[in-house]
Amino acid sequence: AQTVTQSQPEMSVQEAETVTLSCTYDTSENNYYLFWYKQPPSRQMILVIRQEAYKQQNATENRFSVNFQKAAKSFSLKISDSQLGDTAMYFCAFRGDDKIIFGKGTRLHILP
């Protein structure tokens, strides 16, 4: 069975700093997708970034980028120039054949 592990329950960084959130996963599948979702206090789940396992190039979306290490089954999220609006719960997610499995999340606080 697939598992997703986020080892940092909570983090705090100063505004404008760079922060990296960790995620590891376990699977025997070769083709899959990985996602980072953001959940602000409004509780809406918002897709931040997506990575296809068959692509070697790391995905980027403006200030958000990932470090995808397929052999190590690692998928970390880097937020550059962090902003107060980045304060949220961040979930790493894995999608194999059909299911999407989420990690338990990292609560990120951006401090003014």
Partner 1 sequence: DARVTQTPRHKVTEMGQEVTMRCQPILGHNTVFWYRQTMMQGLELLAYFRNRAPLDDSGMPKDRFSAEMPDATLATLKIQPSEPRDSAVYFCASGWRGGLAGGELFFGEGSRLTVL
Q: Which residues form the interface with partner 1 (CB under 8 A)?
A: 33, 35, 43-45, 47, 50, 52, 91, 95, 98-105
Distance of alpha carbon 101 from the chain centroid: 13
Number of H helices, E strands in the chain: 0, 12
CB of 87 to partner 1, least distance (A): 18
* Closer of 100 and 111 to partner 1 (Cβ): 100
* Closer of 18 and 60 to partner 1 (Cβ): 60
Distances (CA, A) of 94 to 3, 43, 51, 84, 104: 8, 20, 10, 27, 12
CB of 76 to partner 1, least distance (A): 18
